[in-house]
């Protein structure tokens, strides 16, 4: 009650003393005053008083501060305040504005599922924040671009951005608030979930739950609770999954009128009931998901296959009309999903990374002009810098082109690489007369080559333990004979022989096995016989000219 009275007195005093105030950036002062007030009507009155005073003084920065604090009183109802901030500061270079306006406008578009428009605003926020030297807003914009990368499927890079964002906040605790830090933990946990890094996901989820409970952040708490439910589903703990998802959904329904997160809850509850064998319950939740997707047209890539389950169910009921209806809906949503993903994949790199490169160029030019005493060298420096940037761009385009050519060539080679056993044995016989004398009896060579063929044909090379000596022992020969025969008849040394077999096998499996493509690089490496992701990636690149991540990304499309 005392604080309420003080706030009312402050507003009255302020309204009578507008002209005596000295124009200065009152962002922190106004924010603190409004945060202390518990009654919304008084928050608005304080903000409006500050706004009237700033307008009277034509004080653009404090007009923006008042607009922003008024927006925060009711974010969903006061979007016009953000538009006003952008309109009056877009030609300015204040520490917070227009970057803060662009950032929140991007958030609004993101929440509405308008990812293309969200990207435009996040790029503008990034450019403005970098220009004004506001590291916090710059990383916030980068974080949100990470969310879009996550949406477009580039989850590994998104994880790097989220981890960098959290690290920045932990190293700069003065910038931490429950909104940004908790949101960062949720984004990182969600990204871990979708890349099947379940142990890291569990650690981050537990941390997020503790932080959101401690800070009373019920919004992000509900999001992390849903993420925990999905995590439990992936661990096959279906009852726990349903419990977490139902709890998260109940909280979300209180504040999220857009319903997109509710659709995710219903989808995974449906999946849980299906895997528990409760078909009718699962279908009821799948139908709820369908209702929301049709209503919002906000395509959530992870749950679009709900229509596969609904079509299968309607088929079992011989309901052909409903099957056609589900097919039409899925086709419509798939086209939106494809358009969004294509746009984001192309434009995040082109618009954001290009903006980063241009920003770095401008920083270098300014630093050069500040440090140099030889002004005549400025033109030369800029020319050299421009040439370097052009060369970098050309190199990038050329690399992209060559990677595409190598990818296509690799697919062709993979299709044409099959030979039957009789042809291989025939080739072995022909090769014996063509190869140089290696001082090994011909029957021994034939035997070892036949055993090597069996070794290859049965994919025994995917075991990690092989050395030259161990394979020689397994083939009942000695390492000297085996080494010579592999060098002469396979044209590679033993290590490259094994690596090439494993890479060919990896290419073949990734081409036909869709589930394998969702594995991490480390997991794929272990599946095909490599000890770690680094050795697998190096061997893959050495043999094909491209990295496995590139191959997987493009084989999916």
The confidence score (pLDDT) of residue 32 equals 86
Helices 218-234, 238-255: axis angle to 10 degrees equals 160
What is this structure's pTM?
Answer: 0.50
The confidence score (pLDDT) of residue 461 equals 86
Q: Is the pLDDT of residue 436 over 70?
A: no
H-state helical runs in 276-376: 279-296, 306-316, 320-347, 354-371
User: Nearest Cα to 66, choosing from 87, 52, 76?
Assistant: 52
Which is more confidently placed, 222 or 346?
A: 222
Q: Say if residues 38 and 2 touch (Cβ distance below 8 Å).
A: no
Question: Which sign, positive or negative, has the C-alpha torsion 122, 123, 125, 130?
Answer: positive
H-state helical runs in 39-154: 40-56, 60-73, 79-89, 99-111, 115-132, 135-152
Q: What is the mean pLDDT of residues 27-45?
A: 86
Q: What is the mean pLDDT of residues 33-43?
A: 85
Q: What is the mean pLDDT of residues 213-239?
A: 92
Which is more confidently placed, 303 or 276?
A: 276
Q: Is the pLDDT of residue 344 over 70?
A: no
Q: Is the pLDDT of residue 2 over 60?
A: no
- Cα–Cα dist 146/549, whole Å: 18
Q: What is the mean pLDDT of residues 533-537?
A: 88
Q: What is the mean pLDDT of residues 529-536?
A: 88
Q: What is the mean pLDDT of residues 174-198?
A: 86
Q: Is the pLDDT of residue 428 over 60?
A: no
The confidence score (pLDDT) of residue 275 equals 93
What's the Cα-to-Cα distance from 431 to each of 163, 437, 472, rounded to whole Å? 55, 11, 21
The confidence score (pLDDT) of residue 420 equals 45
The confidence score (pLDDT) of residue 274 equals 92
- Mean pLDDT across the chain: 79
Q: Is the pLDDT of residue 347 over 50?
A: yes
At the topology level, CATH places domain 421-556 in Arc Repressor Mutant, subunit A (1.10.10)
The confidence score (pLDDT) of residue 244 equals 93
Q: Is the pLDDT of residue 423 over 60?
A: no
pLDDT digits (tens, 9 = 90+) for 58-89: 999 999 988 998 888 877 778 899 999 999 99
- Cα–Cα dist 262/240, whole Å: 18
Rounded to 5°, the CA angle 427-430-435 comes to 110
The confidence score (pLDDT) of residue 158 equals 83
Least reliable range by pLDDT among 71-85, 115-129, 265-279, 414-428: 414-428
Which is more confidently placed, 20 or 433?
A: 433
Q: What is the mean pLDDT of residues 113-138?
A: 87
Q: Is the pLDDT of residue 270 over 50?
A: yes
Least reliable range by pLDDT among 80-89, 286-295, 430-439, 451-460: 430-439
Q: Say if residues 181 and 147 touch (Cβ distance below 8 Å).
A: no
The confidence score (pLDDT) of residue 107 equals 87
The confidence score (pLDDT) of residue 121 equals 92
Which is more confidently placed, 407 or 75?
A: 75
Least reliable range by pLDDT among 37-51, 187-201, 341-355, 494-508: 341-355
The confidence score (pLDDT) of residue 237 equals 94
Which is more confidently placed, 152 or 283?
A: 283
- Cα–Cα dist 476/464, whole Å: 20
DSSP 545: S
The confidence score (pLDDT) of residue 238 equals 94
| Domain range summary for the chain, segments of one domain joined by + | 421-556
Task: Go through 81-100 and write b for each residue having 16 or more CB atoms within 10 A of its CB, e for each that does not.
Answer: bbebbbebbeeeebebbbbb
pLDDT digits (tens, 9 = 90+) for 466-481: 888 988 888 898 988 8
Q: What is the DSSP string of 494-507?
A: HHHHHHHHHHHHHH
pLDDT digits (tens, 9 = 90+) for 298-341: 666 677 788 888 888 888 878 778 778 777 777 776 565 544 44
The confidence score (pLDDT) of residue 399 equals 64
The confidence score (pLDDT) of residue 41 equals 85
Q: What is the mean pLDDT of residues 504-517?
A: 86
Least reliable range by pLDDT among 112-116, 140-144, 190-194, 551-555: 112-116
Instruction: Identify the H or E element spanning 7.
Output: helix 2-16
Q: Is the pLDDT of residue 291 over 60?
A: yes
Which is more confidently placed, 360 or 241?
A: 241
Q: What is the mean pLDDT of residues 428-450?
A: 72
Q: What is the mean pLDDT of residues 492-515?
A: 88
Q: Is the pLDDT of residue 359 over 90?
A: no
């Amino acid at each position: 009650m005392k604080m309420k009275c003080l706030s009312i007195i402050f507003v009255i005093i302020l309204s009578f003393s507008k002209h005596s105030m000295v124009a200065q950036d009152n962002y922190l002062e106004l924010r603190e005053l409004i945060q202390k007030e518990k009654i919304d009507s008084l928050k608005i009155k304080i903000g409006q008083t500050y706004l009237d005073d700033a307008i009277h003084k034509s004080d653009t920065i404090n007009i923006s501060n008042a607009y922003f604090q008024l927006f925060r009183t009711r974010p969903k109802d006061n979007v016009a305040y953000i538009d006003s901030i952008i309109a009056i500061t877009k030609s300015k270079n204040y520490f917070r504005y227009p970057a803060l306006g662009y950032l929140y406008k991007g958030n609004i578009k993101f929440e509405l599922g308008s990812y293309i428009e969200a990207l435009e605003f996040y790029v503008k926020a990034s450019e403005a924040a970098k220009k004004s030297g506001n590291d916090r807003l710059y990383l916030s914009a980068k974080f949100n671009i990470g969310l879009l990368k996550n949406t477009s499927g580039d989850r590994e890079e998104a994880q790097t951005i989220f981890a960098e964002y959290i690290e920045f906040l932990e190293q700069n605790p003065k910038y931490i608030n429950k909104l940004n830090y908790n949101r960062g933990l949720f984004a990182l946990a969600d990204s871990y979930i979708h890349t099947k890094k379940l142990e890291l996901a569990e650690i981050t989820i537990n941390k997020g739950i503790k932080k959101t409970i401690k800070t009373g952040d019920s919004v992000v708490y509900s999001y992390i609770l849903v993420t925990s439910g999905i995590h439990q589903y992936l661990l096959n703990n279906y009852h726990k999954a349903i419990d977490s998802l139902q709890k998260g959904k109940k909280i979300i329904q209180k504040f999220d009128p857009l319903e997109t997160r509710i659709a995710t809850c219903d989808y995974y509850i449906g999946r849980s009931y299906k895997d528990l064998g409760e078909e009718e319950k699962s279908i009821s939740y799948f139908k709820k998901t369908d209702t929301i997707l049709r209503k919002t047209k906000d395509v959530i890539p992870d749950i679009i296959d709900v229509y596969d389950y609904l079509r299968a169910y309607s088929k079992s009921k011989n309901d052909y009309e409903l099957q056609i209806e589900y097919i039409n809906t899925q086709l419509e949503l798939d086209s939106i999903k494809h358009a969004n993903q294509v746009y984001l994949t192309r434009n995040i790199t082109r618009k954001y990374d290009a903006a980063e490169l241009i920003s770095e160029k401008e920083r270098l030019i300014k630093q050069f002009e500040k440090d140099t005493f030889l002004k005549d060298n400025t033109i030369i420096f800029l020319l050299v810098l421009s040439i370097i940037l052009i060369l970098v761009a050309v190199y990038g385009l050329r690399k992209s082109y060559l990677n595409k050519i190598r990818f296509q060539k690799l697919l062709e080679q993979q299709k044409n690489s099959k030979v039957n056993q009789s042809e291989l044995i025939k080739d072995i016989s022909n090769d014996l007369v063509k190869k140089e004398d290696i001082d090994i009896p011909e029957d021994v060579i034939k035997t070892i080559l036949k055993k090597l063929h069996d070794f290859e044909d049965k994919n025994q090379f995917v075991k990690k333990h092989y050395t030259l000596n161990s394979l020689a022992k397994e083939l009942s020969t000695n390492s000297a004979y085996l080494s010579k025969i592999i060098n002469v008849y396979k044209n590679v040394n033993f290590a490259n022989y094994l690596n090439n077999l494993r890479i060919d096998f990896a290419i073949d499996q990734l081409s036909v096995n869709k589930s394998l493509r969702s594995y991490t690089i480390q997991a794929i490496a272990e599946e095909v016989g490599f000890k770690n992701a680094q050795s697998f990636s190096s061997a893959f690149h050495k043999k094909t000219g491209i990295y496995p991540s590139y191959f997987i990304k493009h084989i999916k499309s």
